[in-house]
Structure 1
Amino acid sequence: MSFTAVAPPVFDGINYQVWAVRMEAYFDANDLWETVEQVYEVPTLSDNPTVVQIKNHKEKKQRTSKAKATLFAAVSPTIFYRIMTLKIAKEIWDFLKGEYEGNERIKGMQVLNLIREFELQKMKESETIKEYSNKLLSIVNNVRLLGTDFSDSRIVQKILVTIPEKFETTISSLENSKDLSSITLAELLNALQA
């Protein structure tokens, strides 16, 4: 099965940043990102074009059509009605970005809310390390998608402080064998899962 047979992710108005990252990867894998990223000019053919010029013209025209069709297929019907009159992929992409990415103030508020959510997390006795770390990483990755740095060392500290007492022996043995201030997230998770 070719990659183009895989449907693009559909955007329904929620989690724009995640959708945009997935769409950029989708366009890139299908060699269409250039048509979305910039105004992609399809030059008109001269009166007496060569075979190569005709081929290039047809290819560029086809790429612009594919990019536009992909964006139309990658949005919910409600959003489609808002973009259907736009003519080129870059216009569509820029419209969606302007509508759903939000301005700096909105992004700042989203980051604050996510950091608050991160700070309030505490591992439950019934949770596994994998479940807890996945929950934390999900929050952190959303913060990062909004353009804010969030270090892995901060996640390590959060896990060390909020895991239940049943992990005390594991943490003690880690303290004896490693410097906990420089342990990587992967090392900590592997040790706690073992």
Structure 2
Amino acid sequence: MAGSSGGDLRAPIFNGGNYEFWKIRMRTIFKSHGIWDLVEKGFEIPESKGKKVEEEGSSDSEKASLSDKLIKDAKALGIIQGAVSEDIFPRISNEETSKGTWDILHQEFHGDKQVRSIKLQGLRHDFEYTRMKDDETMSVYLTRLLTLVNQMKGYREDLAREHLVQKLLISLTKEFDPVCYVINQTKDIETIELQEVIASLRGFA
């Protein structure tokens, strides 16, 4: 499916991975269009779609309100459909509302509490044992490490800044020992910002 956008906001195509990040970006897009409430809460649809609204005794304002919701919901549904891969699309193709579609994806990819706990434990393990490889550049390693950190944040696990700084410094290859020594001797590890450490390391590399 084609990518979707909300003004300048663009959602990546969801292919089954990194659901939490995708969900956050999609929610921002829905909010930018003023349709997040429809996606999150849905709205009442007349029991008989075949009946004309006039036959149901609705006032002009009620008819206009329903028409507006139907249009906005169709827009939200189109945004979701346009932001999933061809492999994911069949799972939602028969759903006619944005909330129903959103709920299907959430139920399948968000997982229950136990599943999320298992995934988080795996990420914690990967983070603690991650080390820079001898043939790896600083940029590649930082991307790999910070991707793990961001994935953990997706499961509401915020690592302390000091922990991140220490992890970075002790996980580098031996060629970075001199600059790590200088940082440890001249900086307060408890207060230094991660970006400041990264800047020093990039300067050394």
Please state which band the TM-score falls in when normalised by the shorter chain.
0.7 to 0.9
Task: Name the count of aligned residue pairs.
Answer: 191
* Distance of 2:131 and 2:166 partners within structure 1: 12
Q: 1:26 to 1:122 in 2, by over 3 A?
A: same
Give the unaligned 5+ runs of structure 1.
none
Q: Does 1:36 align with 2:48?
A: no
Residues 139, 8 of structure 1: alpha-carbon distance in 2 compared, 3 angstrom cutoff? closer
TM-score (norm 2): 0.78
1:163 paired to 2:172: yes
Unaligned 5+ segments in structure 2 are: 47-52
Structure 1: how far apart are the matches of 2:59 and 2:65? 14
> Quick one: distance in 2 between partners of 1:5 and 1:175?
42
What is the Cα deviation at residue 105 of structure 1?
A: 1.3
Structure 2 distance, partners of 1:110, 1:99, is 14
Correspondence for 2:23 among 10, 20, 29: 20
Aligned to 2:161: 152
Query: Displacement of 1:97 after TM fit?
Result: 0.6
Higher helix share: 1
CA distance 1:3–1:88, change in 2 (3 Å): closer
Q: Work out which of the residue numbers 6, 9, 32 in structure 1 matches 2:12.
A: 9
User: Residue in 2 aligned with 1:141?
Assistant: 150
Give the 3 Å change call, closer, same or farther, for CA 59–171 of structure 1 in structure 2.
same
RMSD of Structure 2 on Structure 1 (CA): 2.7
> Does residue 132 of the first structure (1) align with residue 135 of the second (2)?
no
Of 41, 56, 60, the residue aligned with 1:49 is: 60
Instruction: State the distance in 2 between where 1:8 and 1:160 align.
Output: 34
Identical-residue share of aligned pairs (%): 29
C-alpha distance 128-7 of structure 1, shift in aligned 2 (>3 A): closer
For 2:58 and 2:6, locate their aligned partners in 1 and report how far apart those are by CA, in whole Å. Answer: 37
CA distance in 2, matches of 1:5, 1:55: 29
